[in-house]
């Protein structure tokens, strides 16, 4: 029988997830007696499986495609989870849903979050892009969202949700200068590591580049930005800091910044391909 508290991640495909490794290392460093499972749920089995997990686990993380599907099963939502209509962390005892992706995003930017106050170029219109668009709109002078197909379901629904507050353009037709470029597409992610969502002429017109991709730690986009002398940040910080924020909720104790910095550096130095 397992000792201590049990936590886990639910999602459809978790073969390449780093969450088990990140949470186990954080639990160990915090001296918490806790266990973390990766729980794959096929799409058709969610409604039968999830209510049982809610009673068996102390806390759960949620990833694609269930961040919205869990909402009807919860009794309350933290403000960010309610605003985004998406939950990635659950306190199963209180049946409360949280969104720590946004915490991880903002904490990982650190002082670079100031660049969100200027002209922001966001690539993509999926789940991560939606969160970044809303966070950018709280602060920015202008938001341009570049998508591969402005007529796609994702682009149309984000455009409707932002109600004219952002300009939508095709990825191949980006013009102008930007204080921040935020990549929320999977272009450049392992195994397609040679992919880059925009060409160098676009990158050169940006003051800062953030790539949500964390595998590889240095994408082609980040490499191109750094070669041009542009400050650039990958997604490993966001991934580790959203996990740390989940543990703060579950364990009720703060996670030290030195600990998460060491973990980010260690994971960025490890190859996760395959």
Residues with active-site annotation = 67
Across-strand partners of 123? 146, 183
CA–CA separation, 213 and 233 (whole Å): 10
Question: For residues 142 and 117, what is the distance between their CA atoms, to the nearest angstrom?
Answer: 9
For ligand NAP, which residue of 41, 87, 89, 101 counts as binding (CB under 6 A)? 101
Q: Which of 84, 89, 235, 246 binds ligand NAP (CB under 6 A)?
A: 235
Q: What gap in Å lies between CA 271 and CA 274, rounded to an integer?
A: 9
Question: Which DSSP string do the residues of 39-79 spell out, in sequence order?
Answer: EE--GGGHHHHHHHHHHH-SEEEE-TT-TTTTGGG-SEE-H
Residues 184, 212 contacting (CB under 8 angstroms): yes
Complex with ligand NAP: residue 148 or 262, whichever CB lies closer: 148
Segment 83-88 long-range contacts (CB within 8 Å, at least 24 positions apart) = 83/134, 84/130, 84/131, 84/134, 86/127, 86/130, 86/131, 87/62, 88/61, 88/62, 88/63, 88/242, 88/246
* Residue numbers 158-177 binding ligand NAP by CB under 6 A: 171
Q: Does 119 bind ligand NAP (CB under 6 A)?
A: no
Report the nearest approach of ligand NAP to the CB of residue 65 (Å): 9
User: Closest residue to ligand NAP, Cβ-based?
Assistant: 126
Give the shortest CB-23-to-ligand NAP separation in angstroms.
13
Residue 14 tokens, joined: 């978790």
Q: Which residues pair with 180 in a beta bridge?
A: 120
144 binds ligand NAP (CB under 6 A): no
Question: Binding to ligand NAP by residue 239, rule CB under 6 A?
Answer: yes
Asked if omega into 191 is within 30° of 0 (cis), the reply is: yes
For ligand NAP, which residue of 5, 25, 148, 265 counts as binding (CB under 6 A)? Answer: 148
Instruction: Indicate whether 126 belongs to the interface with ligand NAP (CB under 6 A).
Output: yes
Q: Residue 9 or 128: which CB sits closer to ligand NAP?
A: 128
Q: Closer CB to ligand NAP, residue 5 or residue 113?
A: 113
State both tokens at 161.
């949700």
* Segment contacting ligand NAP by CB under 6 A, of 20-28, 40-48, 147-155, 247-255: 147-155
261 binds ligand NAP (CB under 6 A): no
Query: Which stretches of the chain bind ligand NAP, using CB under 6 A?
Result: 64, 101, 104, 124-129, 147-149, 152, 154-155, 171, 184-187, 189, 197, 212-214, 235, 238-239, 242
């Amino acid at each position: 029988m397992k000792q201590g508290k049990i936590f886990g991640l639910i999602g459809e495909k978790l073969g390449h997830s780093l969450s088990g490794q990140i949470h186990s290392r954080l639990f160990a460093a915090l001296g918490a007696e806790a266990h973390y499972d990766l729980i794959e749920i096929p799409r058709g089995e969610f409604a039968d499986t999830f209510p049982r997990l809610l009673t068996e686990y102390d806390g759960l993380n949620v990833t694609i495609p269930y961040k919205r599907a869990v909402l009807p099963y919860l009794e309350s939502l933290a403000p960010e989870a309610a605003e985004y209509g998406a939950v990635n962390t659950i306190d199963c005892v209180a049946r409360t849903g949280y969104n720590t992706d946004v915490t991880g995003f903002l904490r990982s930017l650190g002082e670079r979050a100031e660049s969100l106050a200027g002209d922001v170029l966001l690539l993509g219109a999926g789940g991560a892009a939606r969160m970044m668009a809303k966070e950018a709109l709280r602060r920015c002078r202008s938001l341009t969202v570049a998508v591969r197909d402005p007529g796609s379901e994702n682009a149309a629904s984000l455009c409707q949700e932002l109600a004219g507050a952002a300009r939508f353009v095709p990825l191949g037709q980006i013009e102008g200068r930007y204080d921040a470029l935020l990549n929320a597409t999977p272009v450049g992610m392992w195994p397609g590591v040679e992919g880059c969502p925009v060409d160098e002429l676009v990158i050169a017109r940006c003051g800062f580049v953030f790539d949500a991709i964390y595998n590889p730690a240095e994408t082609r986009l980040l490499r191109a930005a750094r070669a041009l002398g542009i400050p650039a940040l990958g997604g490993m910080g966001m991934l580790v800091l959203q996990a740390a924020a989940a543990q703060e909720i579950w364990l009720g104790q703060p996670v030290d910044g030195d600990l998460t910095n060491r973990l980010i550096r260690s994971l960025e130095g490890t190859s996760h391909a395959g």
